[in-house]
């Protein structure tokens, strides 16, 4: 909600400027927008996506983007395996691949700055003269030596197996990858040795220690992804089946804690602490330790961030998402939810 409010507030001056200058010459409209940006703390938002999103509601300019299957692209997974994914259909309407949209913008700005005689700014937008998606791939090799010399044709020959980076050489027209890095025991340091840097634990942050010491908040609330949904559910929310399958975030509870709290699978519970509350659906699992809860972080109907403390790591400025505690109280039970969801363990096989 805070992000929505900020976006609405920061984008409104630009929207007002555009509304005031409807029908005016383009130069006047641009001047009004620039004035809103400079003098009214306005924010000009450009969104590039394949369908309407939450952020698009606040956008002043929208570019329709192509997606997977509508363009050639390369991707690498956590195994360092680089693959080529080839286009098999055209993008709809005026949609274009991301690289082409960026190139069009950069080249247009370059020409405008050149026309003004501003060579310094024009230079900042040089180098976007790509003609194909492979041009972008080859260009990216200048900043990443892990796949230097690799071409689309080479990746086509490798098929879905791809090649594991870094590529150590091209042999017979085929890239030779690296199955396991540092297998020779040498690392990228002057003496070839790995560096292990001990870091003393400073203890719990004061703000978290207060929660630990308060008996009202007996549970650590861990969190992460659930494989039933993707990322922050930005795509799942568009599908009725996805939301019916998981109408609220799941909160995993140890059997001992469930018995103590009088909980069953499908019960609705509220987690609370001084920073907020969040409601979710109980799933009893023996994979959690007593005193520990696990909830999905990304559900649009209930965010872990509602009970995250304001503490941020001083070295990285990252919030301590996995370092919060909360109390738990049973809210009730909705039969339609409890009776139509599965609570079978996903950790058991066979």
Q: Which CATH class is domain 206-340?
A: mainly beta
- Say if strands 219-224 and 250-253 run parallel, antiparallel, or are unpaired: unpaired
Mean pLDDT taken over the chain:
92
Domain boundaries, given as residue ranges, for the chain: 2-64, 73-100+128-176, 206-340
pTM of the model: 0.77
Span 291-341, pLDDT tens digits: 999 998 888 888 888 999 999 998 899 999 999 999 999 999 988 888 878
Residue 266 clears pLDDT 90, i.e. is over it: yes
Predicted pLDDT of residue 32: 94
Fold of 73-100+128-176: Phosphorylase Kinase; domain 1 (3.30.200)
- pLDDT > 70 in the chain, percent: 98
Span 30-40, pLDDT tens digits: 999 999 999 99
Tell me what the mean pLDDT of segment 129-150 comes to. Answer: 93
Span 55-96, pLDDT tens digits: 898 999 999 999 999 999 999 988 999 999 999 999 999 999
61: which strand partners? 46
Predicted pLDDT of residue 346: 65
- Where b means 16+ CB within 10 Å and e means fewer, 315-343 reads eeeeebeebbbbbbeeeeeeeebbeebee
């Amino acid at each position: 909600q805070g992000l929505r409010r900020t976006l609405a507030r920061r984008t409104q001056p630009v929207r007002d400027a555009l509304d005031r200058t409807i029908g005016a010459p383009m130069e006047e409209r641009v001047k009004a927008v620039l004035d809103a940006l400079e003098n009214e703390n306005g924010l000009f938002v450009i969104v590039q996506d394949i369908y309407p999103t939450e952020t698009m509601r606040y956008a002043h300019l929208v570019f329709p983007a192509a997606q997977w299957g509508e363009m050639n692209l390369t991707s690498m997974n956590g195994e360092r395996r680089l693959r080529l994914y080839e286009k098999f259909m055209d993008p709809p309407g005026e949609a274009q691949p991301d690289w082409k949209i960026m190139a069009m913008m950069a080249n247009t700005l370059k020409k405008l700055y050149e026309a003004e005689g501003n060579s310094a700014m024009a230079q900042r937008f040089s180098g976007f003269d790509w003609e194909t998606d492979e041009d972008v791939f080859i260009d990216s090799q200048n900043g990443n030596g892990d796949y230097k010399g690799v071409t689309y044709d080479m990746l086509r020959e490798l098929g879905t197996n791809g090649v594991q980076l870094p590529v150590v050489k091209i042999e017979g027209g085929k890239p030779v990858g690296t199955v396991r890095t540092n297998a020779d025991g040498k690392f990228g340091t002057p003496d070839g040795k790995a560096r292990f840097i001990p870091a003393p634990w400073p203890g719990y942050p004061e703000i978290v220690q207060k929660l630990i010491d308060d008996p009202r908040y007996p549970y650590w609330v861990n969190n992460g992804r659930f494989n039933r949904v993707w990322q922050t559910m930005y795509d799942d929310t568009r599908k009725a089946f996805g939301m019916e399958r998981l109408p609220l975030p799941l909160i995993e509870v140890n059997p001992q804690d469930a018995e103590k709290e009088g909980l069953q699978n499908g019960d609705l519970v509220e987690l609370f602490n001084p920073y907020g509350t969040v409601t979710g659906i109980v799933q009893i699992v023996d994979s959690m330790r007593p005193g520990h809860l696990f909830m999905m972080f990304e559900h649009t109907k209930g965010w872990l961030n509602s009970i995250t403390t304001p503490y941020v790591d001083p070295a990285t400025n990252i919030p301590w998402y996995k370092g919060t505690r909360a109390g738990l109280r049973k809210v009730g039970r909705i039969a339609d939810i409890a009776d139509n969801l599965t609570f079978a363990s996903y950790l058991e096989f066979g």
